[in-house]
A and B are shown apart, each in its own frame.
Chain A
Amino acid sequence: MIEVERLTKTFTIHQKEPGLKASIRSLFVREKVSKTAVKEVSFEVGEGEIVGVVGANGAGKTTLVKMLAGIIHPTSGDARVLGFRPWERPRAFTRQIALLMGQKAQLWWDLPAADSFLLLREIYQIPEDKFRSSLDYLVSVLGAKDQLTTQVRRLSLGERMKMELIAALLHSPRVVYLDEPTLGLDLTAQRAIRDFLLCYREEHRPAMILTSHYMEDIERLCKRLLIVREGELVFDGPLEKVVQTYADHKVVTAHLHKRPEPVRETPELRAMGQVDACDDVLIKLRVPRPRVAEVAAELLRRYPVADLAIEEVDVGTIIERIIGAPKEADTAQVRP
């Protein structure tokens, strides 16, 4: 449904030093710099797939989504969404897509949401019976009935986001872009939005691209992940593969029977792996994957172990490390 081939977007940005002198100078001469927001990105997304796009601020996630929604033109490369070039914006394309931007209101601010939905019915030419059934379904799943007649500007952020979701999905789009849909929401509202998206995906099977800073969004909603760093796609694959690819160690935690003396960080212990913690009740080590079994056995033999846990490193931690790493860091591209 979405095919992206070496998509690139370069912006030209004016630069100005602070101060009055620089302001006057900028009336006559302006310094321009080129910034490549998205660099030769290629991937595909199929029907019913939710793909998470993560990256630091300014990594190019939103620019990528804007290009795929047809809002901005790429500098080079190509993309096909439902067989259309998005930036040509043919009606048959715009009727089948939706973009929800968490940081931007897309509803009419002064109108109750119900009035906006009626307008959207006209804009998308949704037949009356289909409009009614879609609206009833979305309102009931999101539990938003009581807010329909309130002016949008008077709604709380969580309530507004529910209305934005209804507005985005009323016309049953086949491709949905969600740009930070849970931004600024409290934990309950975040959970409600995530549950809704999973439910909607099961019932309607659209292709979805989700950008988010919240790892919980990604872990709950996406089986596949794209990691963007400084405009480049540095990882494209299943979520669990991030751990296998980038985490060369596991965390081994031994809970001990209470000892009179805390465990010392001896050379023998350090030889097993990197010591994260050791005291009278706990030893926590980061152990290279090939040595996990051997180290576990060693711990059981040497210490009064009550419980032993072998865990993968938290995926959020790994992703944060990847997106925060400098470009030269060792993060080879992965394309399954």
Chain B
Amino acid sequence: MRLFWSIAGVEARKRMSYRADFWLSSFVAFGTELGVAYFIVLAMVPVAGRLGGFSRDGMLLYYVAIILTARIVWSLDLDREISDDIYQGALSRYLLYPVSYGVLKYAAQIGALAPAIVQVILFSACVPFVLGLPEGIRITPATAAMALGAVAVANALHFLVTYPIRLVAFWADNCWSLLWAHRLVATLFGGLLLPLAMFPSWSQPLLNALPFRYMFAFPVDALLGRVTPVEYATGMAIALGWCGVAAVLSAGVWRRGTLQYTGVGM
């Protein structure tokens, strides 16, 4: 664990030293996302009406919460780092270490979250003053704790699900299109684009069974008090189950992939 936190600490120090990037991503990236969400909600939800169980203010809060959650789950730009390591031959040095490459990279991903965590704290502190707490939504210490647990699992789940996709770089020079395809699917079925409650009722069991909900919508639903303790426990169990499946798949792909690895590159 000491090694894990050392790696995370190094990555955090590195990321926090990019001051211009921190403020640009805080205001330009976040500002754009929140601005787009604001106008979508205004267009979709009537002033006094409800959509997917949300009032207009409730829907705004949902989008703010899910955008902040996605920032923590997605980390920054490490999506491409693993496939780049393979493509450029930088993986070689990690293979020499008596430590698992996946663990090293996950530690780096956790460390890379440092600026995002600071941004999320800053924006979260502003939300009550800007939006208030819409009617019918109760955020309590208990729901906040449940959301924190769900976000931690969501982060691991996202890493583990994308890990075998990134390892495709052992066979294909360029697997970024696969990562983009994953991102699009996760955005849609994870509730980032639209609240999952707006999907048809027949699709709900499927959305609950797939891993994407547990990456984004589930932590937000937990925060906004929209899941019962039983639903929360079930959801966490499903998410952890997917983590296990993805870990087994990753191990298999890694084993086959390293047989192919040539260690050449730039």
Residues of A within 8 A of B (CB): 11, 66, 69-73, 89, 91, 94-95, 97-99, 101, 104, 106, 108, 110-111, 115, 118-119, 122-125
Contacts and interface: CB of A to CB of B under 8 A. Distances in A.
B96 A95 contact: no
B98 A71 contact: no
Nearest to B258: A73
A123 B263 contact: no
B210 to A, nearest CB: 32
A43 B127 CA distance: 69
B96 A94 contact: yes
Interface in B227-266: 258-259, 261-263
16 contacts: A70-B95, A70-B96, A71-B92, A71-B95, A71-B96, A72-B261, A91-B98, A94-B97, A99-B96, A104-B89, A115-B10, A118-B6, A119-B6, A119-B7, A122-B7, A123-B99
Nearest to A121: B6
A92 to B, nearest CB: 8
A107 to B, nearest CB: 9
B92 A66 contact: yes
Nearest to A89: B95
A87 to B, nearest CB: 8
Contact of A11 (B92, B96, B97, B262): B262
B3 interface: yes
Contacts of B10: 108, 111, 115, 119
B19 interface: no
Contacts of A115: 10
A115 B95 CA distance: 20
Contacts of B263: 66, 71-72
B8 to A, nearest CB: 11
A106 B263 CA distance: 13
A99 B89 CA distance: 14
Contacts of B93: 104, 106
A54 B89 CA distance: 23
Contacts of B7: 119, 122
A252 B96 CA distance: 50
Contacts of B80: none
Contacts of A97: 96
B262 A72 contact: yes
Nearest to A168: B96
- Chain B CB count within 10 A is highest, among A72, A97, A98, for A72
B14 interface: yes
Contacts of B261: 71-73
Nearest to B2: A122
